[in-house]
Chain A
Amino acid sequence: MKYLILKKGRFNQFISLLSKKHKIMAPVNKGYNSSSFQEVTSGEEIALKYIPTILPPKKYFMPQYETILEYDTRWGQNMNAVVEYEKMLLFGVHTCDLAGIQVLNIVFSERPKDFNYLVRKNKILIIGLECNDYCDEYASCGMMHNTLPAGGFDLFFTDLGERFYVRVSTQEGDKIVEQVNVFEDATAEDQEALQDLREKKQKIFQNEVGIDYHDIPNLFEKSVESPVWLDLGKRCLACGNCTNVCPTCFCFNILDELNMDLKSGKRIRMWDSCQNEAFAKVAGGENFRKERAQRQRHRYYKKFKFNVDRYARFFCTGCGRCSRTCMAKISLKETLKQLVEENILK
């Protein structure tokens, strides 16, 4: 591991030089306290203090819409498997979203492997950025243990006031450093400043719900029949916003699109949502999750139980996007608090 310092005064130079070698995607302020990952060429464009972007960086790993096959039926069922990709460098990914990317990596690396995802993943460099402070009341990254860097990046930046503390985590990260020679070696003093910040953070980032990380699957085990799900079902509008903005929701649909010749076209994959009414409906008409309450329950169980059993990892990063975006004000933190309360009363 290598530790460096980037003086704030040289940050713009860093991004400008880097943008000559890489297509850089970074959080950009969009007004109304919202931001979005998009292409930048200068440091001034980047929002260094931002709350989770509208869409997580998932969109680069698993595009909302992508071609998986190109077909031509003029002489039979002929096709080519394709992958769409773009070489890029993500700058400024928070620890919650790094955790989200790690979750997607696991899902799409599991056999049978998803080669479309894996090709794309290997073309993306990642520079993480530490949160020094809480973003807002919706986040639950404290409960989900996602406030500190835990891998998933090539470089990791921590803002220490007039300088960034930079952790070089991979060989690819070191190449970035070499390409843009604006760094200095970190000193013991810098190391101490980082420790001070981390200690301060421990006081700021508390468990938001008051249930121990390790007890969460157990809480869900006991909450299968909870009335909380019926309450969510009554409030939910089934719009699918919560799953669209989630950094770990990976459900998709596969559709064929025809070209104007009606012979050739492409098979595409696009984001889908378990909150849509027809998501689990089969051809015979049976709908296995007909009620909104069932679908909301399903969403929560995928985050906190099913996938935890399957992949030994929580599928909630605590980013708070689902609660921030919900038109019916369904709050993940509140839901968990209610479940905890119910279980204490039992």
Chain B
Amino acid sequence: MRNMNLRESHYIIKKGTILRARNLTDLEKVFEIALEGGESLDHEPGQFVQVSLFGVGEAPISVCSSPTKRESFEICVRAVGKFTRALHKLEAGDELGIRGPFGKGFPVTILEGNDIIMIAGGLGIVPLRSLINYVIDNRRDFGRVNILLGFRTPSSMLFGEEVESWQERIDVEFSCTVDSVGEEQWRGNIGLITSLIPGVNLNPSHTFAAVVGPPIMYKYVLIELLRKKIPERQILVSLERRMKCGLGKCGHCQLEQYYCCKDGPVFRYDQIKGLKGAI
């Protein structure tokens, strides 16, 4: 067996340096990363990267910052496994590896000129934050903008200060709900995210919906959006699957005929409607 260096390989990582790292909660940590040589990641909102730490491995992580910010990007990571716990140990100045961005994100050029309703449940705010901030940074290019957020409890809310700044904007319709409240202070809505949709005033033929949340959420949110008469091809969902290679080959993220890492993770609802196991 011979061994030869490969100049071209899609497994080659780009080096990234952590500029800032901050904890959002006990479980979630945000890293701001700059690529070597000042290279821009140049992602679409909704795309993901493979984050690499040699000796530990790689994991697919959504980019949670808007591509309008060119010089660095952010990822938000919940510590749940071996890789993410190792990642959480990193601080500003540490180096990691990046491959990507991968997949199809939210088609922002198609969304422009339309009303947009962005719906996130739980950790779904992480990938959707990229689109929300993109829309806000290019606010004039969009019609009416609605943001609906849902969290399990007030303390599980992520990006609290930023969420507050969205709420305060005069050019964004905003509502937020929590499933339940314990001892905490909470003056907002209590109930499932689906309860926020009926009250939204929208013109369905000119509205795109972008939905990101846990698998269980989609089914019920879709019912409400279809009830609002938003066309199926104007509903965009981001689906989580296990992405190992990011190249549409390794098979882990396969969803019937689609590779989530390449054909998704953002799909139009009419693409995946009726696909077994999609929603």
Listed in ascending order, the chain A residues whose CB lies under 8 Å from chain B are: 67-69, 71-73, 76-77, 79-86, 107-108, 110, 112-116, 119, 224, 250-256, 258, 262-263, 265, 267, 272, 274, 279-284, 286, 288-289, 294, 298, 301-302, 305-306, 309-310
Contacts and interface: CB of A to CB of B under 8 A. Distances in A.
Given A84-B2, A274-B251, 18 more contacts: A81-B11, A83-B6, A108-B249, A115-B8, A116-B6, A119-B4, A251-B251, A252-B251, A254-B244, A254-B250, A267-B54, A279-B242, A280-B241, A283-B80, A288-B241, A301-B256, A306-B256, A309-B257
- Contact count band on B: 35 or more
A77 B6 contact: no
Contacts of A294: 277
Interface of B: 1-13, 15, 52-59, 78, 80-81, 84, 95-97, 123, 214-215, 240-242, 244-245, 247-257, 276-277
Contacts of B55: 71, 73, 256, 258, 262-263, 265
A251 B252 contact: yes
Given A274-B251, A280-B252, A81 B242 contact: no
Contact of A83 (B4, B57, B247, B257): B4
Q: Which of A263, A267, A289 has the most CB of B within 10 A?
A: A267
B9 A81 contact: yes
B249 A281 contact: no
A81 B54 contact: no
Nearest to B250: A252
A119 B57 CA distance: 25
Contacts of B249: 107-108, 114, 250, 252
A288 B2 contact: no
Determine which residue in A73, A77, A262, A309 has the highest number of CB atoms from chain B within 10 A of its CB, and name it.
A77
A112 B250 CA distance: 12
B84 to A, nearest CB: 7
Given A69-B11, A77-B15, A252 B245 contact: yes
A82 B276 contact: no
Contact of B9 (A68, A255, A262): A68
19 contacts: A76-B15, A81-B8, A81-B11, A83-B9, A114-B249, A119-B6, A252-B244, A253-B250, A254-B11, A254-B57, A254-B58, A255-B57, A265-B54, A280-B242, A282-B241, A284-B240, A288-B277, A301-B256, A306-B256
A342 to B, nearest CB: 17
Interface centre among B5, B251, B254 (most CB of A within 10 A): B251
